Chain A
Amino acid sequence: METVGFLLDGIFTSLQWFNLVLLIFGCLIGLFVGAMPGLGSVNGVAILIPITFIIPPTAAIIFLAAVYYGAMYGGAISSVMLGIPGASTAVATVFDGRPLAVKGEAMTALTAAAVGSFVGGTVSVILFTLFAPPLAEVALRFNAPETFALMVMAFATFVGLGGDDVPKTIFSILIGLALSTIGLDLITGKPRLIFFNIPGFLHGINFLVLAIGIYGIGEMLWTLEETKGKVQMSKLSVNMKEVGRAFGALKKTIMAMNIGSFLGFFVGILPAAGATPASLMSYGITKQLSKNSKEFGEGVPAGVVAPECANNSASTGSMLPMLTLGIPGSPTTAILLGGMILWGLTPGPLLFTQEPEFVWGLIGSLYIANFFTLVLNIALIPAFLMVLRIPFAILAPVIFVLCVTGGYAPTQSLHDVWLMLLFGIAGYILRKLDYPVAPAVLSIVLGPLAEKALRQSLILSDGSMGIFFDISEKPIAAVIMYIAIVLLIMPAFGPLYRRFYKKKQTA
């Protein structure tokens, strides 16, 4: 087995003391940037790139990949503890992570996040090791019609996301879609929906601005009302019994781990998608297929495992098109790609044969980085739990400051801070009126991807929708499309079916 030899070389490369120190250091920086709202792996890697010009390329990629990786773990921490998504990839983690923490099961949530991340990261790196070249071929054949079909499938799973109130869910999806059309039109290049000619709308509505507003600010207002500024949780103990209970809860999340690992990896290898859509789709599909899907959103460990598993898996997956095709699978890999070019490497089909030390050093380091981040995370849980012992009157202003910096950081414009505050208030009101907000957040992420793929496909087919349903011409797109339609119809008919069934029984 040639691969095993290469992999062992890679693991030894990343265990050299210089590389190992950089790796652990990178994981810690990643945890920090992931946990800080507004600082995500994209900013972390972009800020650190200049430092890497003074070290060898292999050490540089190991360091930056560790930062990328650590950030996937770190994002969960603030999502669970503060209800603010620490990074865009951790938005779905808020859905169930925060309710778990509020119920007093923060320990379970954090353990689920760490273990889920570890499983996703490990499964994906094994897939990467074994199947990199054939998977690169799949990514190459996955074009606009296939991407659109996949997006339709993702949207189909959302309808089930908001609970039983289908009209309110559809309303939420449409709000998200409408917001996602603001900005530059991809095809005509013309600005769309630039309200009052404010230039800040030209870059569109940044998805993090919406997510931090709705979850961070909205959640803060909600908790202030609930706790009246008192301590949220007082009896938090960390002992072996608690730890055992937290791990015990993971038994029920095997399905979430499977979905998260495989779906995450697959979405990750598709160009331009990345870890954020992967985590959201994984959450939606896990919920849809789960037996107790009604409990999702109220705090179930599987709801934390699904997105966390998927975002780590996707971040590994997105390195595949970066290395083999020279195209980024996520915004962070776009920056890594720039880095590789500056280090004097040409990403592309020849990289594996021309620079085996670099490629396998990176792959080997992913195994090691996974292990270290898991250990670091579990070890630091007691420290993270301290946050919940702080009275909310003190915590609220801290959360507010973090939200404002988080809204400002991605685009460095005050415009986005105002928008975020607006979304925060809107999110609070929607929550009072019992509207689900998660579907809106999901559609603002996937909306632009879906629109682009749809319009590219329709240009190719001269406007015919047949391009998505032609089994002989585009088999992958057609199969995904049919599955999506079934998924879409299922929840709509579910209640009807049950009602009909009940009537028959009582009759």
Chain B
Amino acid sequence: MSIIKKLALVVVSLSLVAVSSVSSAKPFSPKKPVELIIPAGQGGGADEIARLVQGVIEKNDYASKPVIPINKSGGSGGEAMTYVKKKAGDEHTLIITLNNVLTTPVNQPELGIDFFNDFTPLARLITDTFLVWIATEGKNTAGVETFDDFIDLAKGNGLVMGGTGSMSEDELLLGMMRGQFGFDAKYVPYSGGGAVAKGLVGGESDFTLNNPSEQMGFYQSGDSKALVMMTPERNPAFPEVPSSYELGYPDLEYYMMRAFMAPAGIDAEVEKYYTGLLHTVYHDDEFQTFNIDDGKLMSWLEGFGLKDFLAIEYEKHGEIIKNFN
């Protein structure tokens, strides 16, 4: 065999390899329905966003296969996180987050969840805000007009706060406020933000730290009012409610992140596909309008920015839990 022939053979085989490697790098798309795990119950804030994302994808045909939301609410999200951890390398599973992804691994070490190595963060779409709510005709909070009135009242009296469950975001937030303002409250847990709002208007509790959407109906009807929103700026959905920065309490700032993660060990192509899909959803007009009207902050974050953000939040929550205990 001549050298030329040998060379030709090498060239052919090399190009074959090249062709085959090109074909294997074809962009990923799901081959079966995608499970979207919700680490909370039906009807709550995370559930609402997950079903909105599902609806937007379905309505506009953004994905070749449907997205199926599945609620795994047990163990403050522990059940959902254990499930996703076991699905390492699975290309058809996603999880939407509450802040409980930051707290449950710390609070329940027996689950063995490693926040930084068991998940692949994809993108943060939204941050939800928190407000201090009282009932307009609350019998114990009569005469309270401002947040400062409220602090004065709360210091002297043991008020009752309705919340969404032990060690959930709002109880940690109460812990933070206890440190900052020196008042304590009796914490009564309910099942979900809607029940919390009802307990407030029904006169069982004196105040709540609900997200906007959970209290929206009673806010619009005038049955409950907000004293402060824990953000640097006012929100267009609640124009008359002052921000905590305005009132001179810049330390009173807290958010709920609505991000999406995949299991650990997926290919970069898969990661890119889902991030792209979420990006399309994020820029959908209907998705934007719905969330802005609901008082949520649109806050896209991906890649290294997201990883840094999660690292900071994880540490911050570790600190809050330590102080709380």
A143 touches B204 (CB 8 A): yes
Which residue of chain A is the closest to B112 with respect to CB atoms?
A: A197
- Interface bin, chain B: 35 or more
Which residue of chain B is the closest to A54 with respect to CB atoms?
A: B59
A197 touches B43 (CB 8 A): no
A271 touches B186 (CB 8 A): no
A350 touches B43 (CB 8 A): no
B74 touches A203 (CB 8 A): yes
Question: Is A346 located at the chain interface by the 8 A CB criterion?
Answer: yes
Contacts of A202 in B (CB 8 A): 74-75, 78-79, 82
Name A342's contact: one of B52, B198, B221 (CB within 8 Å): B52
Name B's interface SS: helix
Name A50's contact: one of B58, B70, B166, B168 (CB within 8 Å): B58
A197 touches B75 (CB 8 A): no
Q: How far is the CB of A302 from chain B (nearest CB, A)?
A: 34
> Per-residue 0/1 for A286-305: is the Cβ within 8 Å of any B Cβ (1 yes, 0 no)?
00000000000000000000
Question: Is B189 located at the chain interface by the 8 A CB criterion?
Answer: yes
B198 touches A140 (CB 8 A): yes
Stretch at the interface among A92-100, A102-110, A187-195, A375-383: A187-195
Given A50-B58, A187-B189, A334-B43, residue A203 in contact with residue B79 (CB < 8 A): yes
Q: Please report the C-alpha to C-alpha distance between residue A461 and residue B48 in the assembled complex, in whole angstroms.
A: 34
Question: Is B107 located at the chain interface by the 8 A CB criterion?
Answer: yes
Question: Is A326 located at the chain interface by the 8 A CB criterion?
Answer: yes
Which residue of chain B is the closest to A188 with respect to CB atoms?
A: B166
A199 touches B204 (CB 8 A): no
A350 touches B220 (CB 8 A): yes
Question: Is A144 located at the chain interface by the 8 A CB criterion?
Answer: yes
Question: Is A327 located at the chain interface by the 8 A CB criterion?
Answer: yes
Q: Please report the C-alpha to C-alpha distance between residue A341 and residue B203 in the assembled complex, in whole angstroms.
A: 25
Stretch at the interface among B6-14, B145-153, B211-219, B228-236: B211-219
A325 touches B217 (CB 8 A): yes
Q: How far is the CB of B262 from chain A (nearest CB, A)?
A: 18
Stretch at the interface among A15-23, A78-86, A127-135, A452-460: A452-460
Q: How far is the CB of A490 from chain B (nearest CB, A)?
A: 32
Q: How far is the CB of B73 from chain A (nearest CB, A)?
A: 7
Given A143-B204, A338-B42, residue A184 in contact with residue B74 (CB < 8 A): yes
A326 touches B202 (CB 8 A): no
Question: Is A153 located at the chain interface by the 8 A CB criterion?
Answer: no
- The tally of CB-CB contacts under 8 A between chains A and B is 138
Contacts of B69 in A (CB 8 A): 46
Question: Is A466 located at the chain interface by the 8 A CB criterion?
Answer: no
Contacts of A342 in B (CB 8 A): 48, 51-52, 55, 290
Question: Is B190 located at the chain interface by the 8 A CB criterion?
Answer: yes
Q: Which of B49-104 contact A (CB under 8 A)?
A: 51-52, 54-55, 58-59, 69-70, 72-76, 78-79, 82-83
Q: Please report the C-alpha to C-alpha distance between residue A341 and residue B49 in the assembled complex, in whole angstroms.
A: 11
> Per-residue 0/1 for A106-149: is the Cβ within 8 Å of any B Cβ (1 yes, 0 no)?
00000000000000000000000000000000001111100000
> Per-residue 0/1 for B14-43: is the Cβ within 8 Å of any A Cβ (1 yes, 0 no)?
000000000000000000000000000111
Q: Please report the C-alpha to C-alpha distance between residue A351 and residue B55 in the assembled complex, in whole angstroms.
A: 23
Q: Which of A333-370 contact B (CB under 8 A)?
A: 334-335, 337-338, 341-342, 344, 346-351
Question: Is A331 located at the chain interface by the 8 A CB criterion?
Answer: yes
Contacts of A412 in B (CB 8 A): 70
Given A186-B165, A199-B79, A326-B217, residue A50 in contact with residue B55 (CB < 8 A): yes
Which residue of chain A is the closest to B191 with respect to CB atoms?
A: A272
B58 touches A53 (CB 8 A): yes
Q: Please report the C-alpha to C-alpha distance between residue A142 and residue B220 in the assembled complex, in whole angstroms.
A: 22
Contacts of A338 in B (CB 8 A): 42-43, 47-48, 51
Which residue of chain B is the closest to A189 with respect to CB atoms?
A: B166
Question: Is B320 located at the chain interface by the 8 A CB criterion?
Answer: no
Q: How far is the CB of B143 from chain A (nearest CB, A)?
A: 22
Given A338-B48, A348-B220, residue A326 in contact with residue B197 (CB < 8 A): yes
Q: Kindly name the residue among B42, B58, B107, B190 whose own CB sees the greatest number of chain A CB atoms within 10 A.
A: B42
A327 touches B197 (CB 8 A): yes
Q: How far is the CB of B96 from chain A (nearest CB, A)?
A: 14
Which residue of chain B is the closest to A335 with respect to CB atoms?
A: B42
Question: Is A163 located at the chain interface by the 8 A CB criterion?
Answer: no
Contacts of B160 in A (CB 8 A): 460
B217 touches A185 (CB 8 A): no
Contacts of B306 in A (CB 8 A): none
Question: Is A328 located at the chain interface by the 8 A CB criterion?
Answer: yes
Question: Is A236 located at the chain interface by the 8 A CB criterion?
Answer: no
Contacts of B252 in A (CB 8 A): none
B48 touches A348 (CB 8 A): no
Q: Please report the C-alpha to C-alpha distance between residue A321 and residue B48 in the assembled complex, in whole angstroms.
A: 18
Question: Is B285 located at the chain interface by the 8 A CB criterion?
Answer: no
Q: Which of B106-124 contact A (CB under 8 A)?
A: 107-108, 110-111
15 pairs, CB–CB < 8 Å, chain A vs chain B: A49-B51, A140-B198, A143-B204, A184-B75, A186-B189, A189-B76, A189-B167, A199-B83, A202-B82, A203-B73, A328-B194, A348-B216, A349-B221, A350-B221, A412-B70
For the complex with contacts A189-B168, A191-B110, 10 further pairs of A-B residues with Cβ separation under 8 Å are A143-B204, A183-B74, A186-B166, A189-B166, A271-B195, A334-B42, A338-B47, A452-B191, A456-B188, A456-B189
Residues of chain B touching chain A, judged by Cβ–Cβ distance below 8 Å, are 41-43, 47-48, 51-52, 54-55, 58-59, 69-70, 72-76, 78-79, 82-83, 107-108, 110-111, 160, 165-168, 186-191, 194-195, 197-199, 201-204, 213, 216-218, 220-221, 223, 290
The 7 residue pairs across chains A and B that have the minimum distance between CB atoms? A348-B217, A334-B43, A203-B74, A189-B166, A326-B217, A202-B74, A349-B221
